[in-house]
Amino acid sequence: MDLTAEFWEPVFTVVALLFALVSGTNDGATLLALGARASRMPLLGATLILTVAVVVAPLVLGTSVASTFLDRLVSFGSQLRPALLVAVTASLATIALLGWRGLPTSLTVALLGGLVGVGVGQGLEVHWRTVGVVILIALATPAIGLIMAFLINRIALSLDVRGRVSRLLERVHVAVFSVQCLAYGTNDGQKMLAVFVAATGATGAEAVVSDPRSLLIGLFFALGTLLGLRRYAKSVVLDVFPVRPANAVAAEIGAAVSVLGTGLLGSPVSTTQTVVTSVIGSGMHEGVRRVRWEHALQIGLAWVYTFPMTFSLGVAFAIVWGWVS
């Protein structure tokens, strides 16, 4: 189809903003659901911290993860825009299906699967070694978060008493929550930036982070976070483990350190996955039987399904796109 850039730019912009909205519903809501258990920090204040981190982190700590999405997995070349459109469509379809079941999955893994699927479907060069390394790191990071939360939980519990020390726990939480938000903005939060790069036709992620239009990413992400909070608060916080403030702080530390470290290396991982496994690690410290393994297994299966589902949809959508274009 011979359609002009004037037609495609608004289409891609709408898709990018929808992707930011869904990212907030899936990722942001999960982060806030855990944070809400640790202190009496106002919901709007926590949302503001998270949103600012999403917008500012790429400016401060770089756009390495966004660059991985854009050109280190598949050599898209001039096909970047349609490829990302197809990959995002495959990702949103998968997230919608799993979200309908109330299961928070990884939008990052979904986009990875969609991008690789599009590359295969269009016959483009897929950098399989990079894809393999990214997948291995994505698998290892939640496990690291689980172990760290398990080990840190004892220290966090020592702060969880009534009186002055309880207020200390709340102060610690605000600091840890802020670091976790920064970790998200440094790592898989940049998938929104990558999609917005294609939408605006920019030459790279660095050119977009200082663009005033990038504030729209934060706005739609914040809106999605507030819309998804009630649903995912139950799935992550209540159904997996009855989290107390100390457990939440331990889980946040485990997730933040793991995600921030991989983000600085330029490897996208799932903050959602790492948060959930960190909650499990914190719960296991107090007794393996306290973790609601049946629901944890359902979430784990949703993660397992995500990559092959989006990969298959990416291949199929790319083939159809080739037929009609």
Q: Which residues have C-beta within 8 Å of that of residue 229, sequence separation ≥ 6?
A: 29, 32, 33, 36, 43
Report pLDDT for 312. Answer: 94
What would the pLDDT profile of 219-231 be if each residue is shown by its tens digit?
999 999 998 877 6
Instruction: Write down how long the chain is.
Output: 325
Report pLDDT for 298. Answer: 82
Q: Which residues have C-beta within 8 Å of that of residue 286, sequence separation ≥ 6?
A: 153, 247
What is d(CA 325, CA 309) in angstroms, rounded to the nearest whole number?
Answer: 24
Angle at the Cα of 116 from the Cα atoms of 112 and 120, rounded to 5 degrees: 165
Q: What are residue 114's phi and psi, to 5 degrees?
A: -65, -45
| pLDDT, mean of residues 47-66 | 90
If we measure between CA atoms, which residue out of 308, 303, 310, 305 comes closest to residue 141?
A: 303
| pLDDT, mean of residues 152-158 | 82
Check pLDDT > 60 for residue 169: yes
**Are the C-beta atoms of residues 145 and 84 closer than 8 Å to each other?**
no
Per-residue DSSP letter, 75:
E
**Greater model confidence, 50 or 321:** 50
Strand partners for 125: 75
If we measure between CA atoms, which residue out of 41, 50, 89 comes closest to residue 228?
A: 50
Check pLDDT > 90 for residue 131: yes
Proportion of the chain in helix, strand, coil states, percent, rounded to 5: 80, 0, 15
Q: Picking from 33-37, 215-219, 296-300, which range would have the lowest pLDDT averaged per residue?
A: 33-37
> Which pTM was predicted?
0.88
Half-sphere exposure of 21 (CA within 13 A, CB side): 10
Q: Which residues have C-beta within 8 Å of that of residue 298, sequence separation ≥ 6?
A: 103
Check pLDDT > 60 for residue 132: yes
What would the pLDDT profile of 69-106 be if each residue is shown by its tens digit?
988 999 988 888 888 888 998 998 888 887 677 666 78
- Report the percentage of the chain scoring pLDDT > 90: 30
Check pLDDT > 90 for residue 129: yes
| pLDDT, mean of residues 179-200 | 88
What would the pLDDT profile of 223-264 be if each residue is shown by its tens digit?
999 988 776 666 665 678 777 888 888 888 999 999 988 988
What is d(CA 112, CA 268) in angstroms, rounded to the nearest whole number?
Answer: 9
Torsion of CA 200, 206, 210, 212, to 10 degrees: 10
